[in-house]
Amino acid sequence: MRAAKKFSLFILFVFLGSIVFSQTLAEIAQKERERRASLKGKKSVVGTNADLAKMKKKPALEIPPTEAAREATRPEAQGTTPPETPPTETPAATAEPLTESAARATLRDLQDRWEKAKEYVELLTLKMGALWQEFYAMDNMTTREALQLSISETFVKLEKAQEEETTARQELEKFLGGQKRESTPSLWIR
């Protein structure tokens, strides 16, 4: 019995509160007229399904081409063999000792090359993840074929970039190992 009294009091308070704080239809209409008047000078764009169909999809991540990508698109790389170029030797492999300024410049170049290679590997890894995510989220089979082609091309680029990064790191380690042990800490730049 006591619960019934509490429930009836609660319903009474809710009903009275809705009557006291309610708006009339005239007040609501007036507010809507004011809102529309404030938006009168503004331009609005309405997008339709036809507009969405005309939109072209763009990749989520675009990576600028690097030297390896530019070399892959050259005509020599697509069918003919490029002329042989002798491998470049690092100054650590030469017999003559380097001056400290030349050693710093060489070290800086090797470090920059390695860092750029690492960054490119990271970007390609990120792109691979985005492509795989897009692939598994798609429903249309025709676009999956194009996406699979893009995934395979990116994978090839990623493997080449990882090889370049490993080569650059090894050259840097070789250069640092060839320097005198007491001068090595002063040569490390970053």
From first to last of its 190 residues, the chain has per-residue pLDDT tens of 788 888 888 888 888 777 776 777 888 899 999 998 988 888 888 888 888 788 877 777 776 766 666 666 665 555 544 444 445 555 444 445 557 777 778 888 888 888 888 899 998 899 888 888 888 887 766 667 778 888 889 999 999 999 999 998 888 888 888 764 444 444 455 4
Contact indicator for 99, 183 with CB cutoff of 8 Å: no
**What letter does residue 183 receive in the DSSP assignment?**
T
**What's the pLDDT score for residue 75?**
56
Cα angle: 190, vertex 93, 66; to 5 degrees = 55
Q: Can you read off the two tokens belonging to residue 53?
A: 């169909």
The helix, strand and coil proportions of the chain, stated in percent and rounded to the nearest 5, come to 70, 0, 30
Q: How many CB atoms lie within 10 A of CB 168?
A: 19
pLDDT in the model for residue 182: 40
Residue 179, pLDDT score: 65
pLDDT of residue 82: 47
